[in-house]
Amino acid sequence: MSDPAGPTLSKTAFEALPGWESDDHGAALDAFRRSCDRILAAPSTRVLDVKTGDAIDYGATGDWQPVCREALSAGAAADPRGFFEKGFQAFAVTAENGQNGLMTGYYEPEIEASLVRKGPYQTPLMAKPSDLQRLDLGEFDPSLKGETIRGRLEGRRFVPYPDRAAINRGALDPANLAVAWVKDPVDAFFIHIQGSARLKLPDGSVARVGFAEKNGRPYTAIGKVLIERGALSREAVSMASIRDWLAANPDEMQSVLEANQSYVFFNRRDLGGPGLGPVGAGGVALSPGRSLAVDRRTHALGAPIWLEAVLPGDTDPTQKLMVAQDTGSAIRGAVRGDYFWGSGADAGAKAGEMKADGRFWVLLPTPLAAKQR
C-alpha cells in the first residue's frame, strides 16, 4: 500500500550515510549517466514524478539537466564521489510505517525458446493485442493524475481486459500474437513476473523480449497464494521453493498460476551492450547491481538512491548507490525496492532468495534540495 500521508525526508550529510566512503561511485555514475541521456533529451518543464498524494517532489527535468550535463563531463568521471557530493543533497526517507521497508530482487531469465511453434515449444509469449487500450484517468479528473486503467471496447462499453485464466483458455489467439514460444508454462509465468527474458534459440543465437504492456488486472503474488493454502510457510517462500512445489503438484499448477490475474505482453528488443540488462521502465538498459525498481507513484525514475540492505548470502548490510530505473506491479511504498541482479541462473538464484528489510536515502540536485521543506 502507498503511504497516505506521504513520506518524510530528513536531510543527511554524505559522511553520515552508512558505508558512503567505501562504495564504487564510478559504477553508480555509469548507471546514472544512462538516465541522464533521457533527462537531457526531455523538455525542461516535464515533471519527473507522478503527482499523487504520496509523491516526493522531484521537480522537473530542468532541475536535473544541469547536474546531468556535469555527470557526462570528464570531471565527473575523474572524481565520481566528488561529483555526487557536490551536485546532490541526501535525504533519509521515512514512510508512514517507519524507515525500513521490504527489499526484494529480480533478474532477467535465460530460457530456451523458439520463434516458431514446434516440438516442445508450445507456450506463447504474446505481443500487445491491438484492442488493448490504456486510459489515463488524470485526463478526466486531475485528482487521479498518474492513475490508469486498461481494457477494451465492446460495442460502446469500455470493459476490463481478459484475465490470465481467460487468456489461457483462448480469449486471445497466440497464432497471431506470439513473439516466441517456450517449453514450460512455469518458465513463461516467471518471465511475466520478471518482465523480460533472454531467449536461447535452437540455432544457438540469442534474442531478447521485454515488457510491452499488461492486461491491467490485479497482480497477486503466488507465494502469498501458497501460504494461504497452507502449501508453504511464510519463511520457506522463495522462487526456488515455489518452482519446486509447482513441479511436485502439476494438477494444481494452473489454478495457482491463474490466481495471478495479471498478464504481461512482450515485444522483441535489441540485446544491447554486453553486461547490461533489458531496458527498464525508465527507458534505459538496466545495470546489474546498480538499477533499482521503485514505486513510480512516489519516486522519479532516474533519481539516485542510497540503499542499505542485507543481500542474500551476506550477514552484514550492503550499502551502495543505486539508480531508480524501473518499476513493477508489486513495488508499492516509499521504502520498497526491487534490486536488479542481472541475467541468467546465478542472478535468478540471488533474486529468488532476496527478501530483506532495507532503507532508502534519496539524492536530489542541490538547488532542488534547497526547496524541500
pLDDT tens across 255-309, in order? 999 999 999 999 999 887 778 999 999 999 999 999 999 999 899 999 999 999 9
Same domain for 285 and 196: no
Same domain for 33 and 94: yes
Q: Is the residue at 55 inside a domain?
A: yes
CATH code assigned at 135: 2.40.240.50
Query: For residue 155, is it left (φ>0), alpha (ψ between -120 and 50) or beta?
Result: left
Instruction: Compute the Cα dihedral for 295, 297, 301, 306 and give only its sign.
Output: negative
Same domain for 232 and 203: yes
H/E element, 226: helix 222-228
Which of 269, 293, 322 marks a domain boundary? Answer: 269
Could you tell me the residue range of the domain that residue 219 belongs to?
108-269
Same domain for 133 and 17: no
Same domain for 113 and 257: yes
Which of 244, 269, 294 marks a domain boundary? Answer: 269
Pairing of strands 110-114, 178-182: antiparallel
Same domain for 172 and 88: no
Q: Is the residue at 101 inside a domain?
A: yes
- Confidence grade of residue 92 (pLDDT, cut at 50, 70, 90): very high
Q: Is the residue at 12 inside a domain?
A: yes
CATH code assigned at 311: 2.40.40.10
Count how many domains the chain has.
Answer: 2
Burial class (CB in 10 A: 0-12, 13-18, 19+), 321: buried
Q: Is the residue at 147 inside a domain?
A: yes
Same domain for 297 and 360: yes
pLDDT tens profile 310-320: 999 899 999 99
Percent of the residues in the chain that have a pLDDT greater than 90, as a whole number:
83
Mean pLDDT over 164-190 rounds to 96
pLDDT on residue 2: 39
**Scanning the structure block, which residue is given the C-alpha cell 490470465?**
164
Pairing of strands 133-136, 291-293: unpaired
pLDDT on residue 22: 96
Same domain for 73 and 88: yes
Mean pLDDT over 65-79 rounds to 95
pLDDT on residue 5: 57
- What's phi and psi for 93, nearest 5 deg? -105, 125
Whole-model pTM: value is 0.85
Q: Is the residue at 2 inside a domain?
A: no
Number of C-beta neighbours around residue 127 at 10 A: 20
∠ CA 237-241-243, nearest 5°, is 125
pLDDT tens profile 331-352: 999 999 999 999 999 999 999 8
- What's phi and psi for 35, nearest 5 deg? -65, -35
Q: Is the residue at 202 inside a domain?
A: yes
pLDDT on residue 50: 53
Task: Give 51's contacts (C-beta < 8 A, 6+ positions apart).
Answer: 145, 146
- Confidence grade of residue 3 (pLDDT, cut at 50, 70, 90): very low
Same domain for 173 and 48: no
Query: For residue 313, is it left (φ>0), alpha (ψ between -120 and 50) or beta?
Result: left
Q: Which three cell numbers mark 196?
A: 523480460
DSSP H helix total and E strand total for the chain: 12, 17
Dihedral angle computed from the Cα positions of residues 153, 159, 165 and 167, in that order, rounded to the nearest 10 degrees: 10
**DSSP character for 129?**
P
Q: Which of 23, 6, 60, 39 lies closest to 307 in space, CA to CA?
A: 23
Q: Is the residue at 13 inside a domain?
A: yes
Number of C-beta neighbours around residue 18 at 10 A: 11
Same domain for 258 and 207: yes
More confident residue, 209 or 146: 209
**229 pLDDT above the threshold of 90:** yes
Q: Is the residue at 1 inside a domain?
A: no
Same domain for 336 and 241: no
Give the chain's mean pLDDT. 93
Same domain for 158 and 42: no
Which of 232, 250, 269 marks a domain boundary? Answer: 269
* Rounded Cα gap, residues 151 and 227, in angstroms: 30
